[in-house]
Structure 1
Amino acid sequence: MLLSTGPDAIVLAVSDAFSHAFSVEARPVVGVSLYDLSELALVGCESTREALRGSIALVVASGTPDCVILTAEYGEHAALTEAKCSWRVEHAPVHDESGELVCVRQTVTACKAAAEIASSATLPDSELRYRTLFEQINQGFCIIEMLFHEDGTAADYRFLTVNPAFEAQTGLVKATGRTMLELAPHHEKHWFETYGEVARTGMPAHFQNEAAMLDRWYNVHAFRLDPSRPNQVAILFSDITEQRNADQRRKRSERGARAAALLAEAATRRLDALLEVVPVGIVVSDRNGAIERENRMFAQLWGQHHPTRTTLADLGSWRARWADHSTRHGHALELADWTTARALRGEEAVGDLLEIESFDEPPVRRVLLSSGAPIRDENGEITGAVVAQLDITERIAAEEELLVAAKRKDEFLAMLSHELRNPLAPIASAADLIRVFPNDEPRVSKASAIIARQAKHMASLIEDLLDVSRVTQGLVQYEFEVLDLNRAAADAIEQVRPIIERKKHRFSLHTSPGAALVRGDEKRLIQVLANLLINAAKYTPEGGTIDFTVRIESGNVKLVVSDNGIGMTPDVTAHAFELFSQAERSADRSQGGLGIGLALVRSLVTAHGGSVYAWSAGPGLGSTFVVCLPYLEVTHAGLYRAEHPTAGESSSLAELKMLIVDDNADAAEALGMLVETAGNDVQYASDATTALEVVERWRPDVCLLDVGLPDIDGYELAGMLRNRAETAKVVLVAVTGYGLPQDKEKALAAGFDHHFVKPLDFKSLLGVLGEIASPKK
């Protein structure tokens, strides 16, 4: 019979022999729980049902066979006619091909000799009653008599009879008539307790347990044979030590395998994480060159949608050239040259320099440093290859830029030597002339003039060098103020007018209709414009055209210098503002100079928050240089409203009375003049005491307070003004050299309404004053 593995033991199939033996039909039985088949003597009473239930459950749980001996009322059946009968019921697991338990096979064998055990009253000779049964089974079997203490607890048991397999199963010899404690003095207590419970209750027991003193494990069925002899218990048992040890070994092996798998999985995860974060492209190939694995960086280098590679031949569609500056530099890689191919041949493949073209759209060119190594098995056979590729495109570009910079430096030193020798030659000649003709006044006068001019020229060269050094190192002290670039342009033109007139250039100037206001250092911005004009004049042939335009556009003041001179190639245009690039503009040295003027222009413009760029249509087609500086629109309105009022318009700032408190008289006066140009009334105080006196009699609308005053600091003064009823609503503006966030928080906490950091941003200040004046207007 086949039974399901569930707790109901559903009948899945019945053999013909079973149907005949128990006079049941297969069809009505299939699909019914074994325990509901009341017509079967096997399950005719609760004790047999429980014994079967325990045996089947043990097989399902352990996956090992089990056996139980049952005695029950049987009834009339075709194959068996005895009034009573005993059965040997074997349960065995049935597994599928994958090793999964699918059902339990039940085999029932009628044991007449076993039945006679239960009916010893009819057969007086016990040896004859049991001989057949004992010889048929290889399981140990014995009948014991339980011995109890006076309090009813189990004390020991005596062996009444044992079968031939008993000795092999237990290792105990001559057991009949002796107690267990005589044979094994330290036998575990739980054995006595279990058998004592069977004797007392008559309930059979089926279990597996260890007999430590016998160094064995047993599968045991214990049951009471005759209610009239309650202290006698029959025990059918099997030595499962080897089976259990095998199970333990298997479980340990499984645990070890699971632990090893977990360790391998953890190592794989760590390797995966490492491969994904390293800035190196890594690809692993099999022995045929097919990609088995690649990391994220490799996909980025070659393109996310690069072709799948199944053999080395597929590399024919991958594009790479040698970039090692050898005789093969620039040649496409042959199939055998690829790092993977060489590693698979067991060759050294370290440090290949390749220029690749990715499969991106559009393709991207990169320079890679490629290295590879073979992967070998335990026998040393090559089974694959791993290749690492590092993107060194930026490093190669930087090295090339360094080479270009070094070349420019060498050219500059050559130019510097030439430029310094030029004035030295006439100076030396003039000195010789004075030495030869010391009394020839006209010659001495002329020679002195030559020396003076050339010395001035040398001083100008040296000053240019020092100037660019100071600017590039950030050592220039700027004096920022609001100024009109229209006027600055006029001053720059005056400086370069001699060279323009000497070369007979046609020059035109176009200024903006209104003031082109910026915040900057007037001297340095005039220097910027002069350098651009000198550059245009030098590189424009005699009689050329130079246009200079100042215009306001998109929030910037644009200064544009255009000429129709020698022009520039795109490469020269790209490096026009770099140091020492003058030599690239012209093959000869007829223009002179050190090539640092435009570099100085860029540094100064950048320091003013602006930008500069150059453009040329090509050699011989002239050049255009454009400087962009932030336009001060608000400052323009404030400074020029008083000078150029419109009809019916009154200044929104004209009503403000402002007190400037600063112990630096020059700084206070300069700020006051700017504020006055916007139509405001200004008074000054050099310390807190004077400020309080002025406030008392004058009642200003705004107080600009320097925080670092000599007697009382600006924070304390602000608090005093806030605490006075007559000045509580005065707008207080802190002017300080401290610009950290906590400094602003401290000023606002002290009572200031606004916080400005020196040097003062006049555009922002006028914006604040406009907001204050608007309500008054």
Structure 2
Amino acid sequence: MSDTNPIQRLAQVLEKERERVARLWAKRLREELYEVEVPGKDLRAPLRQLLDELVRLLHDRGEDALRLWPEVVRPHGAFRYDQRFEPEDLAREFKALEAVLMRVYSRCEGGHLPPEVADLINELVGEASASAQASYSRVLRTEAVRFREAAVMESVLYHMDVGILLAELDGSVSFATQPVSRLLGVPIRSVVGARALTSMAPVLSQVNAHHPSGEPFRVADMPFMRALKESRPVRGVMMEVERPGGGAASLEMSATPIWEEGGELAGVIQTFTDRTEAAQKTRELSTAQDELRRLQGQLLQRTRAQSLGQLASGAAHALNNFLNVVRLRVTLLRREFKPEHLDALDRTVGQIGDLVSRLQEFNVQRTEEHLTDVVLDTVVREALELMRGELERGDSPLEVELKLEDPGKVHVDAGFLRELVVTLLLAARDRMKHAGKLTLITRRDGNAELSLRIQDAGPPFPVEALARLFDPLTREAGAPQSALQLAVVKDQVRRWGGELTVENVEGGVGGAFVVRLPRLREGHEEEPAASRRTEGPRRFQQTRRVLVVDDDLDNARMMAEVLGEEGYDVQLAQNAEVALQLWERRRYDAALLDAVMPDISGWDLARELRQRTPQALLAIVTGMDVRGQNRSTLALVDAVFRKPIDVGALDEFLSQSDVPGQEASPEEDPPGESIGPGAPGQ
């Protein structure tokens, strides 16, 4: 064998002596590693596999075996780690292999071991040992990292504020961290072990678990039970508990399903988070918001009352002027009758009625908007008429200049818009301590918008005040009331699709409120009422018999006298009881009802009359604003007339009827007779 190279010679020896090498290697290893408890076959089997691979590589790959066999040996290091070998044990194992290989080779060669074979054995075993040691070290480092991670995870799980439990497919809780016990106030053994219905039900009862609404919390409501049933995550379930040791808690729970690699459900992880402080702060915030709304409501009522007081003062001035005109005209009529005096009186009464109507509209507590197409300039003039007395009174009356360019219509609530203009006029007036000038300008801004500019001659707004002007929570002295009013106005304009801004006038004198609203395009006029009805217009024949019901006899008699001169057969009733008696005794084509009477209201009487005679014409006559009535109540009557009454409009209404005239029955009263207190002839 001296003529062959060392690799071939070593391969030939190992081919014949493979079993002896494996047996001697295992025996030598057992002697040196007596502390390692590994069965003999488990100790020899991996050695025999390594030797088989070495023989194959020496025969097939020749010199490449020096490079390939260490790679084959590499997993052996991880294998010995699992058998609890120490690093020193692994080094002894390969030292033993080196000694055995040299001994067996020398014996086969008659005690001769060539240096080149010895070097080959030394190199093969050294590379294999280094590879196995590297594998062992890598596993050792990995296990160290795992150990540290496990230690950290254990520390986190047991010391964090979030509790974690693991639920199995059958609903049993197999694991729970210490915070679960702390948050619920019960021992871990009460939660872990049995199925949820057995373990969780007593726990929920013990801690008086309930939903935030007060409804008892059941086991089926637990997120992990729902996640098991629905196979999906369940988030943000709130539960309130009363811990046995004292103290209530609000817990937020979430559950996440765990899936196997094959897509099968393996279980559910549920978390518990203490939200007690957050829930308490939420309740406190809700209470504070309710209190803020109440205070803002009070403040708004106060500022509204203040505005009404200012309007009432100005309206009193205007009414006194009107009444003075009435008195003077009456004096002139007593001296000499002239038709122009009557015309002037009629115009003055109309002006007084318009003023009272606008005051009532301003004072009404609106709960909903009634959007209509409104001419902007008309509303501005009406608001200015309401404010004129307030603006002109005092030692330093204000001058008002109108620059109205008739920009068109807007689709808004006319009453709200009138209030809005009045509020801005008051705010502008309050900025001028002495006599000054208010300028009201309307114009069209392009094709899409109209603008109203209310410009005063007061001091310019400080730059820092412009941003806070509409802040209802500003702390500046005297500012909250006006700021709240302006904030309400700004919000109202925004709901109409517009904007309210404030700016300083160029030149450094005065400021201006600017209201911009969408312009109503031409052709967007409101359809006539008749064209919107699903049925044809209701045509009426002439009405002959009219019942007037009013507890104010002066008003009732004047109404009867005027209608009598127009050709109507009128009877009077001073209250609802008398009106119902008259209605039963004869047929009436129409009834004019006062809205406010001592016994029952005109609306209730209208309901009764409508049930008895559905086709009769019914109208309410009132000096009050009727927008507080709901739609079903308004639907009881055919018309509403505001005092002072337009006689022409009333005659046009009464000259209609949808039932043919009927002959009076024998039991009816003779025409013109009235019954009840204050009836003619009584």
- Same fold? TM cut 0.5: no
Greater Rg by CA: 1
TM-score (norm 1): 0.28
Q: Which has the higher contact order (CA 8 A, sep 6+)?
A: 2
